[in-house]
Amino acid sequence: MTATPPMKKKLTHLPQHVAIIMDGNGRWAKQRNLPRFEGHQAGVENMYSAIEYFSHLKVKYLTLYGFSTENWNRPEEEIDGLLELLREVIDEEALKLHRRGVRLRHLGQPERLPRNLQAAINKIVDLTKNNTGLNFSFAFNYGGRTEIVDAVRRLIAEGIPAEKIDEKLFSRYLYTADLPEVDLVIRTGGELRTSNFLIWQAAYSEYYFTDVLWPDFDKKEIDQALLAYSQRQRRFGGL
């Protein structure tokens, strides 16, 4: 991302929690006759640029969808390359994020991830746990339905009586236990679906869909999404 462009219209309000489905890396590479892996590299680079920009805008919570539980069905070579790329980038960027005051957390099931990637994730989560800047959550090996099933299993394992369970209590058993609900969900790449992403937390979110592929979703595109959000009136089921 280049220098921050001026907003053509003033934002009346910003969302507290933005979640993004980062889609289009493969198509971005195909358009340029590049291997899919290079699309993922460009996507990861843009991910860190987006973190910087949302931090600059003083958005408090940012959640990015990097790898779903269904993505394991992709070619093994692509998956292995993506996992190794993520580990390398975490090692390289951890201190930079820490210096910016970013607090990082992982959403999803870590058990299936390679041990070196688990270690890298645990290291940066521990390093940044006391930071007070942007709360950045990375959904990797994440699925919304799996998250809900995991929450139910924990409730049962702890012997919580059925009559004690309400929405507030249930939310505390999700991966996002101490995060606010999502205000704005953005999906890049032209697809018009949510792909099992934060299906509990985004029940009353505003949605913004764009044809722009994730590696090209720059500051100008972020501004447009936030401007669209600022012009909406949220009713949460009311009149």
Active site residues: 23, 71
Q: 67: which strand partners?
A: 140
Collect all residues with Cβ–Cβ distance below 8 Å to 205 and sequence separation of at least 6: 19, 181, 182, 183, 184, 185, 198
81 closest CA partner among 27, 44, 131:
44
Residue 171 near residue 177, CB atoms below 8 Å: yes
For the sheet with 61-68, list strands across it.
103-107, 135-142, 61-68, 17-21, 184-187, 206-209
Strand bridging mode 17-21 / 103-107: unpaired
Per-residue tokens: 97: 């994020």
- Taking the C-alpha atoms of residue 155 and residue 173, their distance in angstroms, rounded to an integer, is 7
